Chain A
Amino acid sequence: MNHWPIAPILLPLFTAVLLLALGRWRPAWQLPVNLLATAALLLICVGLLARAADGGVTAYLLGNWQAPFGIVLAVDRLAALMLALTAGLALASLLAAAPRWHTRGAHFHPLFQMQLMGLNGAFLTADLFNLFVFFEVLLIASYGLLLHGGGGRRLHASLHYVTLNLVGSALFLLAVSLLYGVTGTLNMADLAVKVAQAPDADLGLLHAAGLLLLVVFGLKAAVLPLGLWLPTTYGAASAPVAALFAIMTKVGVYAIVRVFTLIFVGERLAVAAPLLLSLGLATLLLASLGALSAGSLQRLAGYLTLASAGTLLATVGLAEPDALAAALYYLPQTTLAVAALFLLAELVARQRGDLAGALVGGPAVRQPALLGGLFLLVAATLAGLPPFSGFVGKLLILRSTVGGVDGFAVWTALLLSGLALLIAFGRAGSQLFWKVSPALEGSRHGVLAMIPVAWLLVGGLLLVVLAAPVLRFTEAGAQQLLAPAGYIEAVLGARPVQRVMP
């Protein structure tokens, strides 16, 4: 059996244990070991991505149990894409933490790897209860990372964040057990089969379970009525953590895509489909208004995270192959760009003394051309200006809605929010880089500090340069998602390895 699918879970787990031990005996070795492990993870995930690009779904039977009875991991195009994106983002986040920030408190490195393990597990698992467990792993690591460095603001943000997620976990358990009570299985592929054959008498319970799942994943993805915690929480987090958290909202989007293209499909089960589009568009518009009102660069980045989640959800809600392909293109580029904005916000804040990221005129940054140029690049990407990846992503979304009934709403919301974001960025840029008094004394950022932002921006540029192959991949991925038979067949058809007894 091919053992690579479990590597993205085991590698961070073992690395975290090793880092915990090193933290006690050789603290100085933590950073190189962590960097090495994250780089290795990136290589493994890219390898999985290359394998998944062929079109097959690789199922991995944990403990060698036949499918509905044991836990199964499955790698398809979507999962592999998310894995590679996570690993790439993690490397940037770790490099950003490397200069000084990781020494601000204990256990940053083990928590970082546990976070990666939770994320990778959530993307890989093909079992609903296992998804809950990996959600908890990534959440408990994220609580630790959010609190890292301390401070009253962080504490209060954490209290809200932890409470909200605990309530979310309770609802998740309700939904999962409701599904188990009705169908008698928790394996997602098996659920897809059983739910499709469910008698009409059970439909009410199944709809309730589906909508509860939507609430839970919506909370993770920070969709409109459930997303107002996000700008405060992410604004309070330190830059490397916020950059890593940029993938956390995407976990919610991923789970929504997975569950509502695999399990709750078809005429009588598509409970969430009519909600996704309107919720997504409303989130996008609200986030654009929030971006206009943001008082600091960190909060602006938080609202942009919200905006990208809204755009993605609306696009997924269109339920067209083209729209889903566009969403799969939009997802990585927006994640990279938002993470870059969080990292850049910290670089800017550190050169402005007490004002930090506040969007008011004050002392100039000491490297206006460099930081301003990077800000321009990130802003253009996020607002969707050509020729950057945000433009390609938005163009694909707009193109996929032409001729559809919902096209008008999507065009209006997307273009309006593009304008609002452009104004928000214009205002932020002019306050930060133009309305300035002489710069404060102090050191300038070295080349090393720029590497993480550059890495993320190069990732975005690669998505534009290689748009044609990437698009072929996302189109194939969308088709794979909308024809779940292959996934079900691969998971349920996987046979345990037969041992020949000596």
Chain B
Amino acid sequence: MELMLALGVGLFAGCGVYLLLRARSFDLILGITVLSYAVNLFIFATGRLAVDRTPILAPDTPATLAHYADPLPQALVLTAIVIGFGMTALLVAVALAARRAGDDDHVDAGRQEPQ
């Protein structure tokens, strides 16, 4: 399971970086999204991998770490997902507007660089 998760994080991160470097606004958004998947999986993994353990205390199980998953990384992932989602929505809006203004989906489209 560790290997699978590590490969998954690596694959997502690699794809995300590749898409980012394509410098097209749609690929850029996809790249950011895929990259944030990699990061979220990674945060999840820092709470240690365990099967069949809940992060919430149950009345019939003793309250020691051997019986529960670490709840904090899950809370962090939740926060990161919410923030990432909002940011991606904003990026979509900006990219759409830039596409209309520049008439091309390259991130540098129609830009006149002052010296």
The one of B76, B83, B108, B115 in contact with A177, judged by C-beta atoms closer than 8 angstroms, is B76
- A133 CA to B78 CA, complexed, in Å: 12
Q: Is the CB of B80 within 8 A of A173?
A: yes
**Alpha-carbon gap, A239 to B97, bound state (A):** 22
CA distance A162 to B89 in the complex (A): 11
Q: For the complex, what is the distance from the CA of A296 to the CA of B108, rounded to whole Å? A: 20
Are B73 and A180 in touch, CB under 8 angstroms? yes
A427 at the interface (CB under 8 A from B): no
Min Cβ gap B8→A in Å is 15
Residues on A with beta carbons closer than 8 Å to the beta carbon of B79? 129, 133
How far does the alpha carbon of A155 sit from the alpha carbon of B25 in the complex, in Å? Answer: 12
> B46–A160 contact, CB under 8 A?
no
- Within 8 Å of chain A (Cβ to Cβ): is B94? yes
Chain B residues numbered 41-95 whose CB sits less than 8 Å from any CB in chain A: 42-43, 45-47, 72-73, 76, 79-80, 83-84, 86-88, 90-91, 94-95
A155, B91: Cβ atoms closer than 8 Å: no
Size of B's binding interface in residues, CB under 8 A: 40
A160 touches B107 (CB 8 A): yes
* B39, A159: Cβ atoms closer than 8 Å: no
Interface size of A as a range: 35 or more
Minimum CB distance partner of A170 in chain B: B39
Contact residue among A153, A162, A170, A294 (Cβ-Cβ distance under 8 Å from B94) = A162
Residue pair B39, A158 in contact (C-beta under 8 Å): no
Q: Which residues in A have their C-beta under 8 angstroms from that of B87? A: 136, 140, 162, 166, 169
> Chain A's interface: helix, strand, loop or mixed, by majority?
helix
**Interface assignment of A167: CB less than 8 Å from any CB of chain B:** yes
Residue pair B43, A177 in contact (C-beta under 8 Å): yes
The answer to whether the Cβ of A156 comes within 8 Å of any Cβ in the partner chain is: yes
Contacts of A159 in B (CB 8 A): 25, 91, 94-95, 98, 107
Closest A residue to B29 by CB, please name it.
A163
Residue of B nearest to A155 (CB): B98
Q: Is the CB of A153 within 8 A of B111?
A: yes
Mask, B2-30, CB within 8 Å of A = 1, is: 00000000000000000010000100100
- CB < 8 Å: which of A156, A167, A235 contacts B111? A156
Binary interface encoding of chain B residues 92-111 relative to chain A, with 1 for a CB under 8 A from any of its CBs, else 0: 00110110011000011111
Task: Assess A155 versus B94: contact at CB under 8 Å? Given A173-B43, A296-B114.
Answer: yes
In the complex, which residues of chain B have a beta carbon less than 8 angstroms from the beta carbon of A155? 94, 97-98, 101-102
> Quick check: is A178 within 8 A (CB to CB) of the other chain?
yes
Contact of A293 among B28, B38, B110, B115 (CB under 8 A): B115
Choose one: B20, B42, B115; the contact of A167 (CB below 8 Å). Answer: B20
Q: Is the CB of B114 within 8 A of A235?
A: yes
Q: Is A219 an interface residue, CB under 8 A from the partner?
A: no
Contacts of B45 in A (CB 8 A): 181
Contact B98–A156 (Cβ < 8 Å)? yes
Cβ–Cβ contact A180 & B94, under 8 A: no
B110 nearest in chain A by CB position = A152
Q: Is the CB of A143 within 8 A of B94?
A: yes
Q: Which residues of B contact A377 (CB under 8 A)?
A: none
Q: Mark A166-185, 1 if CB is under 8 A from B, else 0.
A: 11011001101110110000
Residue of B nearest to A182 (CB): B46
Given A173-B39, A178-B46, A180-B72; A163-B114 close (CB under 8 Å): no
Closest to A165 in B: B87
Q: Is the beta-carbon distance between B107 and A156 smaller than 8 angstroms?
A: yes
The one of A152, A163, A294, A296 in contact with B20, judged by C-beta atoms closer than 8 angstroms, is A163
For the complex formed, measure the closest distance between the CB of A131 and the CB atoms of chain B, giving whole angstroms.
13
Query: Contact at A174–B42, with CB atoms within 8 Å?
Result: yes
Q: A167-B32, A173-B43 are in contact. Are A140 and B90 (CB under 8 A)?
A: yes
Taking CB as reference atom, which chain A residue is nearest B90?
A143
Q: How far is the CB of B20 from chain A (nearest CB, A)?
A: 7
The docked-state distance in angstroms from the alpha carbon of A358 to that of B42 is 47
Known: A159-B98, A169-B84. 13 other contacts (CB 8 A): A129-B76, A140-B87, A143-B90, A147-B94, A155-B97, A156-B107, A156-B108, A159-B94, A166-B91, A167-B20, A167-B35, A173-B76, A180-B46
Enumerate 10 A-B pairs (CB-CB under 8 Å) in ascending A order.
A140-B90, A152-B102, A156-B102, A156-B109, A159-B107, A167-B35, A170-B36, A180-B73, A181-B46, A181-B47
